[in-house]
Structure 1
Amino acid sequence: MIVGNGPVPDSAAKEIASADCVIRFNDCRSYRPGQRTDIVAVCNTGRPAKMMLGTSAPSALHANILPTAWGAHPAVVAAAGIWCVRNPALFAALRAPLAITHPELDDFCDDETAGFEAFALAADKIVRVLEAETQRSLETALAGFSPAPYIVPSSGLVVIGDVLGAHPAADIALAGFTHVGWEGHPFAAEARLVDRWVAEGRLRRLSVAPAFSLAVGS
């Protein structure tokens, strides 16, 4: 069960709880007290990472990271694992071109993975960094839907792609995905790609609505 940060109907709570694994994102905005979380997938670069970790210092200084509001969130506390969605090598390669095309995103590629590793170690959680190839393959798949210029796929789509690749025969369900958000993600194309996977029977949505009014995002 992959649960985005969009609206999740109360009627979905029982099915979410019964899943073998429940994945949520970043600050787990769709979480409700008492609900289950096994993995929290995080944007481990730039401002989102620094907000979660509660620091603007370089990640190399995070060896003794202190608890933050994010780290004390019940979903984060309950999770056994932290997934770092943004592969550091892939984002390091983005820094130079982004400095030309999007100079306002000067900290977008700042790698905070070490901070999440330190947090996971202190909290007795398993940390995993997703492979760069997952994002690359998604960029290839998205090209077939003529996306408008974008920076990177959303963390929601990257996690969906990762789980599909690792568990092709599993019953993979989505909730809380609305395919709208930051303009740096190709949400319209992502919605069409996810709808294609749903039509192929590779995954399913807990609630169905017109694709372009829903969000795949975190």
Structure 2
Amino acid sequence: MSRRIVIVGNGDIPDGVAGTIDAADMVIRFNGCRSAGRGGRKTDVVAVCNTGRPAMEMLAGGRWKASETVRQTGEIWCVRASEVFAALRAPLAESHPDLDDFCDDHTDGFRTFAEMTGRRLKVVPAAVHHAVVASLRAFDPAPYVVPSSGLIVIAHVLDNVAGAGDHVSLAGFGHEGWMWHPFAAERRWVDARIAAGRLDRLDPPSACWRS
């Protein structure tokens, strides 16, 4: 049986797609899941930025842990492989000294939370990060630090999660945000895979599945 997989970013969600998202077999959201509501409610996977301040904020206190989206999810994906970010620490200390806690790894905190609450925890393989970096070169990115978590998850789903016949859609991806992600190149990377038929964007009035 083919599956319907929707990856929902934290950008603007168009009207009319919530029902389509909630009808999917797998819905993946990010971090604090700001997409929930306008972008439907179903959440099967929460992909988290498991390094630096975003990770600390999610793990501190109980707001993120007790949120509706986290309560219903069965899996937590740590997007940043520890070995990749350990290798980045020294060069970033010279090139971007203001990012002093950027590579701090909090994977163990998410693992403990997952174990205590009966959820599965997965770490996106370092090979995905390296492959994305290599493939982005074709789109002439401006100087950047790392690809966005969204792009890493899209690549991981296309290469390691979606099977033959599965249909992968995106919503809530404006390809803009933190200045040290290569968003212009990422948009072109995504558009190339849409053109190749590997995924699509949910966008009314055509917010429906391909046959």
- Give the TM-score normalised by structure 2: 0.90
Aligned to 2:94: 100
Could you tell me how far 1:168 is from its partner in structure 2? 5.2
Q: Which of 46, 51, 58 is 1:45 aligned to? A: 51
Letter in 2 for 1:134: V
Aligned to 2:190: 194
Equivalent position SS for 2:17: helix
Alpha-carbon deviations, 1:122-150, whole Å to 9, x = none? Answer: 11110000100101001111101110000
Q: Aligned runs of 1:138-153 on 2, under 5 Å? A: 138-153=132-147
Runs of 4+ that moved beyond 4 A: none
Aligned to 1:111: 105
Q: Is the 8 A contact 1:168 1:202 kept in 2?
A: no
Residue correspondences, number = 196
Equivalent position SS for 2:35: coil
Letter in 1 for 2:93: A
Q: Distance in 1 between matches of 2:203 and 2:131?
A: 27
Q: Distance in 1 between matches of 2:33 and 2:15?
A: 16
Structure 1 unmatched ranges of 5 or more: 55-66, 209-218
Q: Is the 8 A contact 1:50 1:112 kept in 2?
A: yes
Structure 2 unmatched ranges of 5 or more: 1-5, 205-211
Equivalent position SS for 2:16: helix
Aligned to 2:11: 6
- Give the TM-score normalised by structure 1: 0.87
Could you tell me how far 1:18 is from its partner in structure 2? 1.2
Does 2:130 align with 1:136?
yes
Letter in 2 for 1:182: W
Equivalent position SS for 2:26: coil
Q: Distance in 2 between matches of 1:8 and 1:200?
A: 24
Aligned to 2:171: 175
Letter in 2 for 1:69: R
* Backbone CA RMSD of aligned residues: 1.3
Q: Distance in 2 between matches of 1:133 and 1:156?
A: 16
Q: Distance in 2 between matches of 1:10 and 1:186?
A: 27
Does 2:207 align with 1:207?
no
Q: Distance in 1 between matches of 2:65 and 2:119?
A: 12
Q: Distance in 2 between matches of 1:193 and 1:124?
A: 36
Aligned to 1:32: 37
Equivalent position SS for 1:182: coil
Q: Aligned runs of 1:63-78 on 2, under 5 Å? A: 68-78=62-72
Could you tell me how far 1:8 is from its partner in structure 2? 1.4
Equivalent position SS for 2:129: helix
Equivalent position SS for 1:82: strand
Identity of aligned residues (%): 54
Equivalent position SS for 2:47: strand
Equivalent position SS for 2:122: strand
